[in-house]
Amino acid sequence: MPSAKTDFIERIRCLDASIETDAVQNRALTEREHNSIARMLRNGLAVVSFASLEDYIKKRSSEAMEEVSRCTIAFAELPEKLQRAATYEVLSALNYQLSLLDKDDRPAYIQDHALKISSTATPNYELSSHTFAHSQANISNTIIGDILKSFNVEDPWRQMSQISSNLGLTATLSLAEIFKSASLRRHKAAHVAGADTPPTDIKQFVKEAFAIAISFDALLSKAIHKLLENDDDFVRNGVKLNANDIEFRTIKFVDNKWKEYRGSSVRAFRTSNDFDLISREARRRANLSKELLVEFDETGLVRGWECQY
Ranges of each domain in the chain: 4-236, 247-309
Cβ count near 34 (within 10 Å): 15
DSSP, collapsed to helix, strand or coil, labels residue 55 as: helix
**What's the gap between Cα 281 and its chain centre?**
25
Q: In what order do the strands lie in the sheet with 248-254?
A: 270-272, 257-262, 248-254, 292-296, 302-307
DSSP, collapsed to helix, strand or coil, labels residue 170 as: coil
- The amino acid that residue 216 corresponds to is F
DSSP 294: E
Q: How far apart are CA 16 and CA 178, in angstroms?
A: 18
Assess contact for 278 and 285: CB atoms under 8 A. Answer: no
Cα-only R_g, the chain? 21
Cross-strand bridge partners of residue 260: 251, 270
Cross-strand bridge partners of residue 293: 249, 306
Q: How far apart are CA 272 and CA 46, in angstroms?
A: 37
Assess contact for 39 and 196: CB atoms under 8 A. Answer: yes
Cβ count near 267 (within 10 Å): 7
pLDDT in tens, the chain (309 residues): 689 999 999 999 999 999 999 999 999 999 999 999 999 999 999 999 999 999 999 999 999 999 999 999 999 999 999 999 999 999 999 999 999 999 999 999 999 999 999 999 999 999 999 999 999 999 999 999 999 999 999 999 999 999 999 999 998 789 999 999 999 999 999 999 899 999 999 999 999 999 999 999 999 999 999 999 999 999 999 899 999 999 999 999 999 999 999 999 999 999 999 999 999 999 999 999 999 999 999 999 999 999 988
Determine if the pTM surpasses 0.95.
yes
